[in-house]
Amino acid sequence: MSDIIQLLPDSIANQIAAGEVIQRPASVVKELIENAVDAGATSIDVIIKDAGRTLIQVIDNGSGMSETDARLCFERHATSKIKKVEDIFNIQTKGFRGEALASIAAVAQVELNTRTADMELGTSVIIEGSKCTQQEACNCAVGTSFIVKNLFFNVPARRNFLKTERAELGHIQDEFIRVALVHANVAFTLNHNGKVIYNLPKSTLKQRIVNTFGSVYNSRIFPLDTQCDVVNVVGFIGKPEFARKTRGEQYLFVNERFIKHPYFNHAVVSAFESVIPQEHFPTYFIYLQVNPQSIDINIHPTKTEVKFQDERLIYSILHSAVKKSIGNFHLNSQIDFENVSPIEFSTANIHSQPKIPQTVSNPNYNPFANSGGSSGRQNEWKPTVVADGWQKIYESIKENIPEVPTQENIEQIDNQQLVEDTSQISDNVNDISLFQTQNKYIIAKTKSGFVVIEQEAALERILFERNIKYIENQPCTSQKLLFPETLVFTVQDAEIINELLSEFTRLGFEIEPFGNNTFILNAVPPELGDKNVQEIIEQSLEAYKNNLLSLKISKKNNLAHSFSRSLCHQKKNQILTTEEMQSLVNELFSSQSPQISPSGRKICLLFNENELMRLFR
């Protein structure tokens, strides 16, 4: 039998290994930015074309590389960060395994230009598919410039798995933000197809957050600061009233490295449980500082998963720190220390004898005596108050006590919720009665039983089909605002609004770009009424971005679905009149899919006579 095991060629081995580190263009951006930070750069510029498919360029003013290092840095496991095994457990830098540049060079065409401060000329290296095709001296600035072209040019199968340009750009922005948030002392820019998306100058940590996500965050976050021997916890957390129904800005860092840690995320979220509604998620930017020897960051190629020695202790400290910060915020927001009225004390007369407090009771009062029915009470006791002022307070309270509803009133209220309606809802529903229960469900009598309709899911289906009609055929009429409103969004959200401006217009919005991620709102759809437009649009955009990552649907369907979901959340658990229930049910059963919502939830359940009889057997 002949031997069948053989060594893989270096080119194939490099491509296989690259798949663990370079998954998409965002992976390249992450590795190159982190290398620039490790090189001591104070200014980093990122230039992208076609969401990274055509070009990724990262320019920094760091220490640069010598001629030998410029060539050696593309070799696998070539690193300046580790010299002995013990160094692995004392990592202070972003990268250390020497895999990033070798992986990038294996699946792209790379050009490197670099120069150190003590050299007059720099070095230029060109590599294609792990093969060096050119190395020569060049004239360049101090620092390093990496140009990555035609990513996955030699692995077309990987290129075919890339998502839309909008989705891939979103991943790039995520990686860019994760590095920028933890290095406020470094200036960053991100340019896509000739347009500046982010321009972040050196600043304080809070100002970096505000510059990244918009000026609205200046008033939405408050500080977090707890120092102890095990871990230092600093950063900012969002005010409870700005919690979202979708996961928004949640960033956790350890030793200046972004990490994903569900256990610590639970510590933060659980600290908010008593101050935010259910199914809402808080915003936080939390930076943990621990002893490098107490964590292991070498458990995943992307280094976003970290193992802690004292996880349970850090969980408790983090949970307590967030709760303390929330408590301080509520205390400071409720007490106006600048406008506290002074407490007035009356002057005591030192020559007068203080009065002894007296109480008066009825010795004949029997609490077990018969009250005599509803006509009156026997031996009724009334408090006898010594001070006239207290008597007035008692009379005021007694006058404002609401009456206990009688049985007649209760029946009248119930009858208002059970109104017969003779209109026909569908082929199987006619001559019905409609009523609402728990502010969530509509129950309608049918020919052979009854149907239970989940109110929110039904509204989502109706709004979705209505919004699709607005976008495709018949634009929605707008309701003019008496005074225009100014809306400020994050960079990502502002970019999406600009892309979807015509679709928003057809939905009934009149929005004008005002520059610097700001928009002027002149009109809204009639359905919004007096609702918070900023909040609804933000929730819609958050759902829109999540759909880009998880669903392959058209732009118009995505926006219609996201906007419908946001409106449903605003109208959740709403009490409906009989006319409103009738209108909702009629419109539901005239829709294309009355049994399932756009989110995949069941809308209605039909119970016939046979099913009802089976339940009681």
Which stretches within 63-195 are classed as H helix?
Answer: 67-72, 100-106, 156-160, 165-180
Of the candidates 274, 309, 332, which is a domain's last residue?
Answer: 332
pLDDT digits (tens, 9 = 90+) for 124-169: 999 998 888 999 999 999 999 999 999 998 888 888 888 888 889 9
We report the CATH number of the domain holding residue 245 as 3.30.230.10
pLDDT band for position 20 (cuts 50, 70, 90) = low
- The CA distance from 87 to 93, in Å, is 11
Rg (CA), the chain: 33
pLDDT digits (tens, 9 = 90+) for 23-77: 899 999 999 999 999 899 999 999 999 999 999 999 999 999 999 888 888 887 7
Buried b (16+ CB within 10 A) or exposed e, 501-516: eebbbbbbbbbeeeee
The answer on pLDDT for 546 being more than 60 is: yes
Q: Render 27-41 in DSSP notation, one character per residue.
A: HHHHHHHHHHHHTT-
Same domain, yes or no: 68 and 50? yes
Same domain, yes or no: 22 and 167? yes
Same domain, yes or no: 324 and 190? no
- The CA distance from 289 to 231, in Å, is 6
Beta bridge partners of 450: 445, 607
What pLDDT is recorded for position 609? Answer: 78
Same domain, yes or no: 187 and 211? no
- The CA distance from 166 to 402, in Å, is 58
pLDDT digits (tens, 9 = 90+) for 252-285: 999 988 998 899 999 999 999 888 888 788 999 9
Of the candidates 273, 301, 332, which is a domain's last residue?
Answer: 332
pLDDT (mean) for 476-502: 89
Same domain, yes or no: 534 and 594? yes
The answer on pLDDT for 616 being more than 60 is: yes
Residue 238 within a domain: yes
Burial class (CB in 10 A: 0-12, 13-18, 19+), 518: middle
What pLDDT is recorded for position 427? Answer: 43
The answer on pLDDT for 447 being more than 70 is: yes
pLDDT (mean) for 431-448: 79
Tokens found for residue 583: 């209108």
* Angstrom distances, CA of residue 596 to CA of 310, 589, 605: 47, 11, 10
Residue 217 within a domain: yes
Residue 377 within a domain: no
Angle of CA points 257, 260, 265, to nearest 5°: 115
What pLDDT is recorded for position 167? Answer: 84
Cβ contact 39:13 at 8 Å: no
Residue 391 within a domain: no
What pLDDT is recorded for position 129? Answer: 83
We report the CATH number of the domain holding residue 610 as 3.30.1370.100
pLDDT digits (tens, 9 = 90+) for 289-326: 998 888 877 656 666 778 888 899 999 999 999 999 99
CA-wise closest residue to 103 among 75, 79, 124: 75
What pLDDT is recorded for position 348? Answer: 55
According to DSSP, residue 74 is labeled T
What pLDDT is recorded for position 233? Answer: 95
pLDDT digits (tens, 9 = 90+) for 356-406: 766 666 676 666 655 444 444 444 444 444 444 444 433 443 343 334 333
Instruction: Supply the range of the domain harboring residue 272.
Output: 207-332
Residue 298 within a domain: yes
pLDDT digits (tens, 9 = 90+) for 197-240: 999 999 999 999 999 988 888 989 999 999 998 999 999 999 99
More confident position, 214 or 432: 214
Phi-psi region of 255 (alpha: psi -120 to 50; beta: other; left: phi over 0): left
pLDDT digits (tens, 9 = 90+) for 399-425: 433 343 333 443 333 333 322 332 334
Same domain, yes or no: 190 and 230? no
Same domain, yes or no: 151 and 248? no
Of the candidates 174, 202, 230, which is a domain's last residue?
Answer: 202
Return the residue matching tokens 């930015």: 33
pLDDT digits (tens, 9 = 90+) for 104-118: 888 899 999 999 999
Most confident of 336-345, 391-400, 473-482, 607-616: 473-482
Residue 380 within a domain: no
pLDDT (mean) for 569-589: 85
Residue 367 within a domain: no
What pLDDT is recorded for position 375? Answer: 42
What pLDDT is recorded for position 334? Answer: 53
Global pTM value: 0.69
Same domain, yes or no: 271 and 139? no
We report the CATH number of the domain holding residue 68 as 3.30.565.10
The answer on pLDDT for 120 being more than 70 is: yes
Most confident of 200-204, 302-306, 537-541, 581-585: 200-204
Residue 531 within a domain: yes
Domain count, the chain: 3
Same domain, yes or no: 127 and 275? no
The mean pLDDT of the chain is: 80
Cβ contact 238:510 at 8 Å: no
Same domain, yes or no: 431 and 560? yes
Same domain, yes or no: 600 and 521? yes
Same domain, yes or no: 306 and 427? no
- The CA distance from 217 to 8, in Å, is 52
Backbone φ, ψ for residue 357 (5° rounding): -60, 140
What pLDDT is recorded for position 511? Answer: 93
More confident position, 485 or 445: 485
pLDDT band for position 81 (cuts 50, 70, 90) = low
- The CA distance from 605 to 586, in Å, is 16
